[in-house]
């Protein structure tokens, strides 16, 4: 199926689609990952991965654009939500060069950015090592992707 949207639905009790991400979940606040909930995964789903990406960030790195805030994988098929500050799964590297979640924090005066929280459904349970970059993760899981969908949040620095 490659990178096609599926009928899976992704929501958060912390913010609605295309609405502001609470400061608590940003680099200016407590910098903790927001809670996420998903349902209606494609039939045959055996695992999940989660990515948060800001395509509005004025950065180009290794041929890709934007800023990767979160890479999380090795989530089993029975996972349908992540709590705030979740410790479930295996954390990958964000574009700050750290492992784990790094919340939204666009450059000052840069206006409102969009943050895509993607949930990817996979046809098998992964057991990948900690610290993979987004590019490394996608190389590993693309052949096993059944479907995906996202929740979009916004954030603007004061």
Q: How confident is the model at residue 1 (pLDDT cuts 50, 70, 90)?
A: very low
Cβ burial, residue 150 (10 Å; 0-12/13-18/19+): buried
| Residues 21-46 pLDDT 10s | 999 999 999 999 999 999 999 999 99
Which residues lie closer than 8 Å to 71 by C-beta, 6 or more apart? 49, 50, 51, 91, 92, 93, 94, 132, 133, 134, 137
| Residues 52-105 pLDDT 10s | 999 988 766 666 678 999 999 999 999 999 999 999 999 999 999 999 999 999
Q: Report how far Cα 3 is from the mean position of its chain's Cα atoms.
A: 15
| Residues 101-132 pLDDT 10s | 999 999 888 899 999 999 999 999 999 999 99
pTM of the model: 0.94
9-155 folds as Phosphatidylethanolamine-binding Protein (3.90.280)
DSSP 93: B
Q: Are strands 145-155 and 19-20 parallel, antiparallel or unpaired?
A: parallel
């Amino acid at each position: 199926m490659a990178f096609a949207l599926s009928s899976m639905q992704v929501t958060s009790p912390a913010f609605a689609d295309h609405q502001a991400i609470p400061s608590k979940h940003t680099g200016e606040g407590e910098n903790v990952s927001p809670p996420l909930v998903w349902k209606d995964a494609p039939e045959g789903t055996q695992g999940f991965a989660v990515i948060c990406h800001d395509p509005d960030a004025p950065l180009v790195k290794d041929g890709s654009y934007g800023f990767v805030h979160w890479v999380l994988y090795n989530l089993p098929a029975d996972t349908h939500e992540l709590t705030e500050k979740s410790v479930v799964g295996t954390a990958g590297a964000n574009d700050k060069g750290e492992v784990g979640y790094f919340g939204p924090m666009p450059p000052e005066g840069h206006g409102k950015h969009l943050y895509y929280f993607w949930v990817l459904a996979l046809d098998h349970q992964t057991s990948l090592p900690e610290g993979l970059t987004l590019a490394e993760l996608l190389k590993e899981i693309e052949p096993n992707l059944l479907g995906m969908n996202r929740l979009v949040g916004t954030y603007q620095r004061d």
